[in-house]
Structure 1
Amino acid sequence: MLVVDDDEVIRQLIAVNLHLEGFEVATATDGQDCLDRVLDVMPDVITLDVMMPCLDGWTTAERLRTAAATSHIKVVLITARAQDDDRRRGLGIGVDAYLTKPFDPAELIQVVRDLVDGGRGHAT
């Protein structure tokens, strides 16, 4: 797992919840940090905030999808952007799930488990 969010509190909340469920978790502070670390970590799933400095989640997800080495990694967008256009944009990029903040940690865990088990997440 790679948890990407510029807000330390949210990043740690997600990381701790996933860790408590048995996932090995690494973190990144923004999209560029994610891209810099992804090949070293090679996560099964990336949780990705949308609104971040340096490189936003939209661009990060697009780059992950277009690079051969990372195109297979499951991506969950976790964002305060809950408009239908935002959801369509994320799903159009090819993200596997879209959760809005505030999110239910149990729902996040279930989405991640589904993705790790080979399923497709869902947009809420």
Structure 2
Amino acid sequence: MPVHKIDGTGRRILVIDDDLAIRVLLQAVLRRMKFDVALAEDGAAGLDKLQHDGAFDLILLDLMMPRLNGYEFIEQIGQKYAPDDRPHIIVFTAAGKRGVDKIPPSAVCNSILKPFDLDTFIEIISECLNRLHQTGEQRSGVSTRAAE
């Protein structure tokens, strides 16, 4: 696995996915780039992590999960945080564009379709981090990428 040019030092990412293999894979990839990574198996566990572990630079969120799914997680984030204080979220979906269309554009930074390749995944992480660090920029809505 090649080392990519993103330096995640000092940045925190929360991965919320019910698929253990996805969580472990993303954790390994992100840690190689020096991110501090936390894992949650569903939206309810993700909300607990936010409450107890504090802020994250990005949240990687699967939409289809048991207990509290990604749509419900986004809804609860919208109720708990003011728009400028909401975490930046990248959603994973196997539901295609129609799954992402159900999400308010201001709620997420980007989305990626499952299955995905790691290069596309890393490019999207980089884009969202760049947006996060640009001063005064509003979230520009949702774009969706398929695996290339």
With the length of structure 2 as denominator, give the TM-score of the two structures.
0.74
Whether 1:56 and 2:69 are equivalent positions in the alignment is yes
Pick the aligned partner of 1:8 from 17, 20, 37: 20
Q: Which runs of 5+ in 2 are unaligned?
A: 1-12, 133-138
Shift of 1:105: 1.3
Q: What residue is the counterpart of 2:49 in the other structure?
A: 37
Where does residue 79 of structure 1 map in the other structure?
93
Paired letter, 1:123: T
Instruction: Check conservation: 1:2, 1:41, Cα contact below 8 A.
Output: no
Deviates further, 105-114 or 49-58: 105-114
Q: What is the alpha-carbon distance in structure 2 between the residues aligned to residue 65 and residue 16 of structure 1?
A: 30
- Which structure is larger by alpha-carbon Rg, 1 or 2? 2
Report runs of 4+ in structure 1 exceeding 6 Å deviation: none
Q: In the TM superposition, what is the alpha-carbon distance from 1:91 to its structure 2 partner?
A: 4.5
CA RMSD of aligned residues (A): 2.0
Size of the aligned set, in residue pairs, is: 123
Contact 1:14 1:105 in 2 (8 A): no
* Correspondence 1:71-110 to 2 at 5 A: 71-82=85-96, 84-92=97-105, 94-110=107-123
Could you list the runs of 5+ residues in structure 1 that have no partner in the other structure?
A: none
